[in-house]
């Protein structure tokens, strides 16, 4: 029996004490690419040791779906790591919190609060369109010069999530916004990268530059969150619920008033509330902004794709009104382009690690309780068995033969994950990506500035896969400019 059990473990990389360092040090490739390469030697699913943990790497959609869907609940845990514990006060958030009643409760609460914005005067659609309009105005002023669009894209995306979380927004050049940009980049650069401290926690006793940056950035973030929280508590009224933070405060107060013995397990402490809203705010800013930056970079590389989107926009919307969510069904080429951006450059190429909460299995392999499971979304999205020329950016792979209906040519596509840990912001992100891109491309053509090279498409690995900085020229389209003067 012992032998049979042993044989069903996934193939294992040679286990050296320092194997963890291959993640960040030993290879010229980023981890998602290295893990994809290692399949050649070890097969689609294999294991390695990082510090004292077993880590299973999954590179196929069959096994990924087993982990996320079929045995979703068994694999719903999250590892605790040094860096995410600093960010989330020991996992008091949603994304990096282990499976628990508190996690479930907070996830449900946020889900409910986000759904609530579906209707009403300040619907999500109106908020996004307001920010799209303001962004496009800013782009008119920057027109024809070589600029980094990132600050304007980020401000638009930030203001959407600010409206939903805090009912606030930032003007151009706002100091608090500049501070937010800085701390958030510092966090993205240093958190959850499987750096050596996450693998060998005892390394914390040595001076570590990244850890110092992370702590400084988290301090700045926490004081910003605390300020929003204090303001909201002072202005709180049971009669109105303006935003997510109001919803969280209401839940806390009502639990306190009902003061039952169940209350502590819900985890409605100040820390939990702050970390939950911090997660949504952080995810709301960094993910969507990153996708927009990839989309712009890829569109500059593929002017013919941009032109086709513009033709579709011209014929289905024209120049006399702005794009709306109800246009989504009529703009399949734009939707297909968004899908293709999310395929070729997934925001989160390794998802967030999952942990087995009990002894279990993946395919024919047994997996022990406590094992960490990394789903390599990069491998799923670049699998040659599933995608024709996976390295080529081609939106038409998501369209049927006539090009008029969306389709999904492969099951090996999970940009938002799946199952009980699936992304909480999927529908919000899709609305934003659609509206922002439609607004921009209706008005502007994006080009590489004269004499400059095309943006690098490799990306910097981190908790999100970000493109390198690049400059763009946004030219007002002649047909739009003419229409504006006529109007
Ligand atoms: C988790 C993708 C936007 C909130 C995730 C995961 C992925 C993902 C892959 C991890 C799933 C897993 O570990 O199995 C994306 C992409 C986005 C996006 C591609 C943009 C295009 C957003 C936005 C929000 C958000 C806008 C906020 C409203 C979250 C949260 C989690 C999560 C809270 C953690 C869920 C949990 O662990 O229970 N997302 N996301 N995401 N996302 Fe997103
Ligand atoms: C981004 C930097 C912020 O300052 C803090 C933050 C909070 C939530 C994180 C987010 C960062 C990165 C993207 C994450 C998100 C939770 C879910 C999302 C990890 C670190 C994804 C893509 O999984």
E strands of 142-290, at which residues?
none
Q: Is 33's C-beta closer than 6 angstroms to any atom of ligand 1? A: no
Any ligand 1 atom below 6 A from CB of 280? yes
352 lines ligand 2 (CB under 6 A): yes
Q: Hey, whose CA ends up nearest to atom 41 of ligand 1?
A: 425
Tokens of 347: 């925001």
- Position 200 scores a pLDDT of 63
DSSP H/E element including 76: none
The one-digit pLDDT tens for each residue of the chain (487 residues) are: 555 555 699 998 876 655 554 555 567 788 899 899 999 999 999 998 887 888 999 999 999 999 999 999 999 999 998 999 999 999 999 999 999 999 999 999 999 888 877 655 568 999 999 999 999 999 999 888 899 999 999 999 999 999 999 999 999 889 999 999 999 999 999 988 766 556 666 666 666 888 899 999 999 999 999 999 999 999 999 988 889 999 999 999 988 888 766 566 688 999 999 999 999 999 999 999 999 999 999 999 999 999 999 999 999 999 999 999 999 999 999 999 999 999 999 999 999 999 999 999 999 999 999 999 999 999 999 999 999 999 999 999 999 999 899 999 999 999 999 999 999 999 999 999 999 999 999 999 999 999 999 999 999 988 999 999 999 999 999 999 888 876 5
- Predicted ipTM? 0.99
Give the separation between CA 155 and CA 86, rounded to whole angstroms.
26
Residue nearest to ligand 1 atom 11, measured at CA: 417
Q: Hey, what are 355's tokens?
A: 């942990």
Of 344, 379, 463, nearest to 35 by C-alpha is: 379
Residue 355 contacts residue 368 (beta carbons within 8 Å): no
Q: 279 in ligand 2 pocket by Cβ < 6 Å? A: yes
- Gap between the Cα atoms of 381 and 387, Å rounded: 8
Q: Residue 280: is it exposed, middle or buried by C-beta count within 10 angstroms (0-12/13-18/19+)?
A: buried
Ligand 2 centroid – CA 279 distance (Å): 6
pLDDT of residue 22: 59
pLDDT at 391 (0 to 100): 97
Ligand 1, from 245, 278, 346, 424: best to mutate by most atoms within 8 Å of Cβ?
A: 424
Nearest CA to ligand 1 atom 18: 287
Contact between 67 and 354 under an 8 Å Cβ cutoff? The reply is yes
Q: Which of 92, 282, 353, 466 to mutate to test the pocket of ligand 2 (most atoms within 8 A of CB)?
A: 282
């Amino acid at each position: 029996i012992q032998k049979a059990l042993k044989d069903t473990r996934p193939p294992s990389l040679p286990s050296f004490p320092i194997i963890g360092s291959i993640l960040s040090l030993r290879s010229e490739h980023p981890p998602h690419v290295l893990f994809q390469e290692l399949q050649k030697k070890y097969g689609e699913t294999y294991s390695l040791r990082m510090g004292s943990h077993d880590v299973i790497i999954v590179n196929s959609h069959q096994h990924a779906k087993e982990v996320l869907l079929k045995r979703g609940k068994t694999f719903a845990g999250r590892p605790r790591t040094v860096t995410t514990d600093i960010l989330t006060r020991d996992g008091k958030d949603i994304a990096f919190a282990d499976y628990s009643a508190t996690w479930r409760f907070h996830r449900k609460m946020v889900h409910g609060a986000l759904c609530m914005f579906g209707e009403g005067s300040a619907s999500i659609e109106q908020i996004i369109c307001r920010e799209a309009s303001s962004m496009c105005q800013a782009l008119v002023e920057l027109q024809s010069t070589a600029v980094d669009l990132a600050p304007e894209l980020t401000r638009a995306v930030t203001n959407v999530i600010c409206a939903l979380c805090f009912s606030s927004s930032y003007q151009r050049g706002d100091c608090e916004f500049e501070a937010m940009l800085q701390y958030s980049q510092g966090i993205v650069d240093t958190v959850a990268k499987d750096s050596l401290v996450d693998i060998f926690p005892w390394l914390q006793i040595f001076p570590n530059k990244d850890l110092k940056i992370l702590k400084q950035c988290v301090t700045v973030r926490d004081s910003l969150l605390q300020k929003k929280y204090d303001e909201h508590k002072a202005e709180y009224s049971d009669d109105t619920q303006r935003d997510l933070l109001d919803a969280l405060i209401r839940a806390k107060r009502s639990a306190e008033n009902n003061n039952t013995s169940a209350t502590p397990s819900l985890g409605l402490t100040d820390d939990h509330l702050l970390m939950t809203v911090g997660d949504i705010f952080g995810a709301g800013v960094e993910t969507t902004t990153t996708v927009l930056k990839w989309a712009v970079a890829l569109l500059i590389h593929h002017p013919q794709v941009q032109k086709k989107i513009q033709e579709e926009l011209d014929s289905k919307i024209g120049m006399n009104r702005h794009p709306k969510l109800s246009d989504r069904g009529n703009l399949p080429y734009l939707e297909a382009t968004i899908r293709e951006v999310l395929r070729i450059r997934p925001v989160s190429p390794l998802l967030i690690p999952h942990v087995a909460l009990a002894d279990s299995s993946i395919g024919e392999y047994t997996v022990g309780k406590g094992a960490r499971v990394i789903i390599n979304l990069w491998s799923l999205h670049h699998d040659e068995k599933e995608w024709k020329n996976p390295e080529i950016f081609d939106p038409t792979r998501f369209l049927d033969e006539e090009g008029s209906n969306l389709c999904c040519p492969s099951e090996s596509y999970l940009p938002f994950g799946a199952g009980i840990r699936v992304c909480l912001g999927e529908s919000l992100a899709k609305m934003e990506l659609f509206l922002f891109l439609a607004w921009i491309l209706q008005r502007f053509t994006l080009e590489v500035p004269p004499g400059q090279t095309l943006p690098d498409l490799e990306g910097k690995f981190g908790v999100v896969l970000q493109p390198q900085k690049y400059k763009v020229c946004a030219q007002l389209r002649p047909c739009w400019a003419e229409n504006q003067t006529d109007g």
